[in-house]
């Protein structure tokens, strides 16, 4: 599924529509039913990293715990700041 909807799929994904491709992949996984949580997290991680946060569809982001968004963002920032991989990447720049 990641290949089918991802950015390396042959000519089926226009670079201007990466958010739409992400949305389509996530919805296809959700609608297939069954055990779709692990594949959904993998698809979201791979495609999300591929297209970048700024291209994620707003319709998917707006409903993510809006009352807790600031706390979640702070927790993610703290996690990244503590990551030795992020620190190593920054020091190599």
pLDDT in tens, 39-82: 999 999 988 888 888 888 888 888 777 888 889 889 989 998 89
This prediction's pTM: 0.59
Query: In which band, very low, low, confident or very high, does the pLDDT at 10 lie, cut at 50, 70 and 90?
Result: very low
DSSP state of 13: S
DSSP state of 64: S
Percent of the chain having pLDDT more than 90?
Answer: 22
Q: CA distances (Å), 57 to each of 71, 83, 86, 90, 91, in order?
A: 21, 27, 26, 28, 32
Neighbour tally for 6: CB within 10 Å: 19
pLDDT, mean over the chain: 82
Task: Extract the tokens encoding 11.
Answer: 């000519």
**For the segment 51-62, what is each residue's pLDDT rounded down to a tens digit?**
888 888 888 888
């Amino acid at each position: 599924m990641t290949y089918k909807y991802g950015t390396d799929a042959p000519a089926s994904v226009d670079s201007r529509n990466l958010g739409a491709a992400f949305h389509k992949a996530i919805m296809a996984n959700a609608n297939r039913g069954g055990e779709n949580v692990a594949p959904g997290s993998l698809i979201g991680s791979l495609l999300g990293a591929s297209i970048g946060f700024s291209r994620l569809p707003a319709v998917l982001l707006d409903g993510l715990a809006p009352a807790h968004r600031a706390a979640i963002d702070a927790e993610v920032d703290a996690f990244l700041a503590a990551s030795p991989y992020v620190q190593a990447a920054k020091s190599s720049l």
